[in-house]
Structure formats: C-alpha cells, structure tokens
Chains A and B, each alone.
Chain A
Amino acid sequence: MAPQSAQFPLPAMLKDAFVAALVALALAAPILGLRTVSVPAGAQAIGGQGLILQQRWDVVAIAVALVFVGRLLLNVWWRRRIAAPAPGPSFASRIGSVLTGKVPYFAFAMVAAAVLMPTMPFADRYIVDLGILVLTYVMLGWGLNIVVGLAGLLDLGYVAFYAVGAYSFALLAIHFDFSFWVALPLAGLLAAFWGILLGFPVLRLRGDYLAIVTLAFGEMVRIVLLNWYQFTGGPNGLSNIPRPSLLGLQFSPNDEGSFHAFFGLEYDPMHRIVFLYYVIFGLALLTNWVTLRLRRLPVGRAWEALREDEIACRSLGINVRNTKLTAFAIGAMFGGVAGCFFATRQGFISPESFVFIESAMILAIVVLGGLGSQLGVAIAATVMIGVFEVFREAQEFRLLAYGGAMVLIMVWRPRGLIAERKPSIALGGERRAIGASMAGEGRG
C-alpha cells in the first residue's frame, strides 16, 4: 500500500536503526566485549596467569541487536505519533490542568495529610522518619524558593547556610549549653548574617557567574568545617548534640522531668520521633506563611520585579543591591533554621552532610516544583525524596531513577510542576493565575 509505505518507509527506518546499531557496536566492543580478569597465580586458566583479557563477543552481539530492534520500534512509534496527532490536550497539559485553579484545595489536602500522617496505623518509625526527612527538604526548598524562585538569583551553595545553622546550634549547645529553642532563632540569624556577608561581594554578579561563586562558597564552608579541627571537630564532626524538649519536658527514658512521666505514659522512643515530626512541620509551615506574606509586601513584589527586569527596578528608585541582599538573607535564615533542626534531630553532624549534592537536590526540588510555587516545591520534595527512598533497596539504580524522574518532568513540564504565577494583589477580587510563558526566570 502506497500510503502505508510513505508513513513507514522501511529502508529509511532500517538505515536509521543500522546507524544506531553501529554506534552501539563502537561503544559496546571495548566496554562490554573486552573484560580484564585477574587470574590468581597457580590457577589453571585458558589464557595463563595474572591479568588477562576476556573476550565476550556474545554480549556485544546481544547489546547491538537490542539497540537495533529498539531503535526500529522507536521509529515506528514516532512515525505513528506524527501520522495520528493526539486529539485533545497532551498528557503534559493535562497534568498541569489537574492542578490549575485547585491549588488551595490541593494545598489544604496536603497539610491535612501531613498533620494526620503520624496518627495513622501504618506510621511506624521508618515512615515518620521519612516524613521528617521530606519536611526538612520541603522547608529547605521553600527557603531556597525565596532566592531562586522569587528573586531569580541562582544559588548553588544553599547548603552552606544549612551547615551554618547546624554547626551554630551544635557549638552553642556544646560550649554554652544553649537549648534547642533558644538556639533556633540564633541559628537563623547567624545564617542570615552569613547570607549578607556572602551577598555583599557577590550580588553584583549575574546569572552563571553568581551561580559559580555561590557554588564555591558552599564548598568553602564545607572545607573550612572539615579542616578547622579544633573548632568543628573536622571530619569527626560534633556529637552529643542535645535533643529538643517540649516546654522543658525531655524525651528520655529516665522518669525525672520527662514527657512520658508527666503524662503518665509508657516510655516509647516514638514519642520523640513524632514530636520532631511536628516541630519540623511547624517550622516548614512558618516558612511558608512568612513567604506568602512577604510576597504581598513591597519587598516581595520588588523581588519578583527584580527577577523580571533589574534595570527597570533601578529606574523606579529600588535599591537593587539591598533588595537582593534581603532575599539572600531571608532565604539563608530559613536554611539556618532547618540546619538547626537537622542537628538536633541527628544528634551528630559532620561535614559529610553538607556536600554539594545537597545543594543540587534542593535546587532540583525548587526547579522541578516550579519556580516561585510553594505547592509545587512541596510536591516535588515529596516525590523526589520519596523516589530516592523507594529505590533504597536497588542501590545502584537509585540515581538512575532520580535522573529519569527529572528528565521526565523537564520534558513534560519544562517550567516545573506548577509553573503559573498567582498575582499578589488584584482589583477584581479574584486573582487569576498568570501563565508560565509570561513570567521571567531571572538572570541573577
């Protein structure tokens, strides 16, 4: 049939698959085909002793055949899609439209689920611990969202402020006997201070340059923590960090002034875990509340305006440097508070917890969730940390699944899960969302 062959031109498809197979052959021959095997001395082997080269051409053949067939099938699938364009909205826009206009309901449902989660029968220690981890990342994501999502400043070293918060609390507690609740605001303020200190020289840079310098700053903080042995304990870290108390009630097995004794309960280590869960939940909600509030204040509007057009901001008399600094400082402050919580939860911190991959993870959460969207960040944190945990069994496939999830979201929703922007104020009462194509991404 003529139309059939025009749709599926077999020679062209075969040629394409053949080329792909050739590439596969070139790659597979040295990587799969040749394998070095060490033969212990004395053992009788085909090739002799020591390090020998084992040839596995059968594996290569299988790989090449798989690529050839796969490419052919892919071709058929592509051409079918071109031949019959999908009627109605694409999958991607359907994901988006599920959330459009329902953000408040969805947000409410998520908060309710988060409140009720520890009381559910399935909530064992592992699940609640995972919940704490997710909420920590939600909070970090919301903190970074102020810097990256609202002000449009690409910060690759956010974990530095997380570390400052954690070490602040640990050192204050170990040397000066500060309790968690006293140290919490101090850790936030110290992190904010470091944010300003870093911001001053750096914020005249834009875009990629800013990203590189913040990346370097993140590494510097980690390396200082690693090498300043007398102060930070170096690679050994700091241990014996006190646990938080509930209005002075300790979560410890001894009966004196402890939570279970006061309420006449059996001692259960779960009490502490559930308490920690609600602490981080409260802190995350506070972050969210402050951010939503800031968005409707002049400073928040100035951040977004800065993301849209810095030069126009200057022409309107906005102090660009100070406005950027406030974004940096407030973002850092929430990072520091989260760090303080992290320290008290772990009871032990070391520089290993503050490596670059953490910054990358938090940034990925913000970008995948949708720059500037609070709900998007919360969903992204849940999914990302969830995916990471679900694949804990399959060690080596974990990063693969993680990367795959990222690629999929970027293909379907290039501006993040929730890409639309809600105006901070409206004349008509109802605030209509603004599509992603309008809003700027910021150039640092």
Chain B
Amino acid sequence: MSDALLEVQNLSMRFGGLLAVDALSFSARRGDITAIIGPNGAGKTTAFNCITGFYRPTTGNIKLRHPNGRSFGLERMEGFRIAEKAHIARTFQNIRLFAGMTLLENLLVAQHNRLMRASWYTFGGIVGIPGFKKAEDEAVKKAVYWLNCVGLIERADDPAGALPYGAQRRLEIARAMCTEPVLICLDEPAAGLNARESEEMNALLRYIRDKHDVSLLLIEHDMSVVMEISDYIVVLDYGRKISEGTPEQIRNDPKVIAAYLGEEELETAAAMQGGSA
C-alpha cells in the first residue's frame, strides 16, 4: 500500500447559506487514479476548486505530501502558487485553452515559470543569453513529446481553438502535464467524448499514471470510465461523503445506488431486475 499524496481533512465550503461541501475527508494515494463521483450539485467541482486553490475553503485542511518529503498546506496557499510550488495541475469542465494561440504556444505557456527563470525574468532573454535559448529548446522538446502523446503533433502550429472538441480535451491534459505536476486534477475529462475517444482517454490517463509517476484525481460522470480506470472512488452527495472504496465496493454499495437513482426508483429497479431475472 503506497502512502497518501493528498489528504483532505474536514473540508467545508460555504457560499452564503449554502453548504456546498460539508466536512469532507478523504485521501488520494500516490500512483492511484482517484475518482470523485456524485450526482449533479453534489459539490464535486467545489471540492476540486478548493484543492486547486480557486476557492479558499471555509474550514478544513488540505495537505499535499510530495514524494521527496516536502509537504504543503494547500488551504493557505494562493491559487497560482499551488500550481507553481505544490505542482498540482488541473483541467476544466468547460475547456479553457488559449484559443488564439497555437498548440505549441499553449504548451510553452504551461512551462512559464521555468522559462521565466531561464530568461532571468526577461532581462536576460531580451539580450539573448544562451541559457535561455537552451531552456526554450528543451521546453519545445517537452511540448513535442506531449503533442506526440496526445496524437496532435501534426497540428502543432494550428490555433488551439480550431481543434475538434475531443482533441481540445487531450490538449488541455497535455498542457497540464507540461507544468510537471505530481498530482493532476481532471474535471470531467471524458465529458462530450464518443465511445472511441473515451477509450483513448482512458489509455492516456493510464499512460500518464504509469509512465510519469503522476497521481490523478478526477471528477467524472461517465460510469464506464470511472469504473474502468479508477483505483479508488469517493462518492459525494449534497456535499457529504456517502461512500468510498474500490470500484467493486462502490458498485455494490446500496447508498451509492440510492443516491444515483433515488430511493423509490431503487425499489422499482430492484423489482424490475427481479422480474426479468
């Protein structure tokens, strides 16, 4: 059993009178694909935004332990620092690419902080120090590597906004990976993808986990994706955790089925299953 990478303790987020996330605790282990599932409005994205620093949680602790031993209290960090220092990358439910910039530029922007240092915060870059040239070549190499991984290398010089939907999703993941994360948070990576694209997405996510020692945290609605690739699942409903466990445990948990189908429908479904069997 590998150690916990991300530990969420007692996380709550309140918007006025609405308690969107209520005392949520869970942990994601290193090298795992951890999924957060739940019906619409369960607070999945809110929890995500707290972890990635887009919201400041009302209460609770979020701790990230790097493999090298450093740890970060994410609830106290400024949004962009979480990506910069704690190395958590994320994608968005409604894709947020730099539509007017090329694929290559998108992936270079993701390596901003490293390139800024290499260019001596612009002062060296403007006079053309050789170190920056080298760093940029490396950055391009990395971008090319990820473009190959997501199968978009032929379109490297096209604007990101011209890509079809599925390709945009893959590019967003490639861009997140270019920040060299230890944990990548994916907000519905398979939304809007057809069956074949969804299959490719699963393969890509597995590849990221296996080959790059990156742990994944994902929100997903598509149960076929969740059940197939997750190592561990956390189920939310009305901001509370109602269940957690392996896909097998979740699939058979009556509380989860109830949350998804509703109590009455559950009985109907059971009756129908009994009738057809």
A314 at the interface (CB under 8 A from B): yes
Pick the contact of B157: A304, A314, A428, A435 (CB < 8 A): A428
Query: Does B159 lie within 8 Å of A438, measured CB to CB?
Result: yes
Name the A residues within 8 Å of B116 (CB-CB): 298-299
Query: Does B104 lie within 8 Å of A312, measured CB to CB?
Result: no
For the complex, give the distance between the alpha carbons of A299 and B85 in Å: 19
B102 at the interface (CB under 8 A from A): yes
Query: Does B100 lie within 8 Å of A301, measured CB to CB?
Result: no
Name the B residues within 8 Å of A69 (CB-CB): none
Chain A nearest CB, measured from B62 CB (Å): 16
Interface residues of B in 49-87 (CB under 8 A from A): 52-54, 79-85
For the complex, give the distance between the alpha carbons of A432 and B103 in Å: 13
Query: Does B122 lie within 8 Å of A297, measured CB to CB?
Result: yes
A146 at the interface (CB under 8 A from B): no
A395 at the interface (CB under 8 A from B): no
For the complex, give the distance between the alpha carbons of A311 and B92 in Å: 10
For the complex, give the distance between the alpha carbons of A319 and B102 in Å: 22
For the complex, give the distance between the alpha carbons of A440 and B105 in Å: 15
B179 at the interface (CB under 8 A from A): yes
Name the B residues within 8 Å of A294 (CB-CB): 122, 126
Query: Does B80 lie within 8 Å of A314, measured CB to CB?
Result: yes
For the complex, give the distance between the alpha carbons of A424 and B103 in Å: 11
Pick the contact of A426: B82, B104, B109, B126 (CB < 8 A): B104
Query: Does B54 lie within 8 Å of A305, measured CB to CB?
Result: no
Chain B, Cβ-Cβ closest to A300: B122
Chain A nearest CB, measured from B244 CB (Å): 26
For the complex, give the distance between the alpha carbons of A312 and B156 in Å: 19
Query: Does A423 lie within 8 Å of B105, measured CB to CB?
Result: yes
Chain B nearest CB, measured from A321 CB (Å): 9
B96 at the interface (CB under 8 A from A): yes
A320 at the interface (CB under 8 A from B): yes
Contact with B along A290-312 (1 / 0, CB 8 A): 10011001110110110011011
Contact A293 to B126, CB < 8 A, known contacts A315-B92, A317-B113, A424-B105: yes
Count residues on chain B whose CB falls below 8 Å from chain A CBs.
Answer: 46
Chain A, Cβ-Cβ closest to B90: A315
Query: Does B80 lie within 8 Å of A301, measured CB to CB?
Result: no
Query: Does A304 lie within 8 Å of B101, measured CB to CB?
Result: yes
- Find the residue from B85, B100, B157 having the highest chain A CB count within 10 A: B100
Pick the contact of A314: B83, B85, B119 (CB < 8 A): B83
Name the A residues within 8 Å of B54 (CB-CB): 311, 314-315
Chain A nearest CB, measured from B40 CB (Å): 22
Query: Does A301 lie within 8 Å of B159, measured CB to CB?
Result: no
Chain B nearest CB, measured from A427 CB (Å): 4
Contact with B along A389-413 (1 / 0, CB 8 A): 0000000000000000000000000
Interface residues of A in 278-293 (CB under 8 A from B): 290, 293
B97 at the interface (CB under 8 A from A): yes
Interface residues of B in 166-180 (CB under 8 A from A): 175-176, 179
Query: Does A427 lie within 8 Å of B156, measured CB to CB?
Result: yes
Pick the contact of A425: B84, B90, B126, B140 (CB < 8 A): B140
Query: Does B159 lie within 8 Å of A317, measured CB to CB?
Result: no
- Find the residue from B81, B89, B109 having the highest chain A CB count within 10 A: B109
B214 at the interface (CB under 8 A from A): no
Contact A423 to B102, CB < 8 A, known contacts A313-B109, A316-B179, A326-B122: yes
Query: Does A431 lie within 8 Å of B157, measured CB to CB?
Result: yes
Name the B residues within 8 Å of A425 (CB-CB): 102, 104-105, 108, 140
Chain B, Cβ-Cβ closest to A312: B96
A434 at the interface (CB under 8 A from B): yes
Query: Does B83 lie within 8 Å of A308, measured CB to CB?
Result: no
Name the B residues within 8 Å of A205 (CB-CB): none
Name the B residues within 8 Å of A309 (CB-CB): 96-99
For the complex, give the distance between the alpha carbons of A435 and B133 in Å: 28
For the complex, give the distance between the alpha carbons of A426 and B132 in Å: 17
Chain A nearest CB, measured from B168 CB (Å): 12
Chain B nearest CB, measured from A360 CB (Å): 26
Query: Does B126 lie within 8 Å of A297, measured CB to CB?
Result: yes
Name the A residues within 8 Å of B80 (CB-CB): 313-314, 317-320
Query: Does A305 lie within 8 Å of B98, measured CB to CB?
Result: yes
Pick the contact of B113: A293, A318, A431, A440 (CB < 8 A): A318
Query: Does B97 lie within 8 Å of A312, measured CB to CB?
Result: yes
Chain A, Cβ-Cβ closest to B118: A298
Return the 8 tightest CB-CB contacts between A and B, nearest first. Answer: A439-B100, A317-B83, A317-B84, A308-B98, A298-B115, A312-B96, A297-B125, A438-B100
Q: List 14 A-B contacts (CB under 8 A).
A: A294-B122, A298-B108, A298-B111, A298-B125, A299-B121, A302-B112, A305-B98, A311-B96, A313-B80, A314-B83, A315-B79, A316-B89, A317-B82, A438-B159
Supply 13 further A-B pairs (C-beta < 8 A) apart from A297-B126, A314-B79: A299-B121, A304-B101, A309-B96, A314-B53, A314-B54, A314-B83, A315-B176, A317-B179, A425-B102, A427-B144, A435-B159, A439-B99, A439-B100
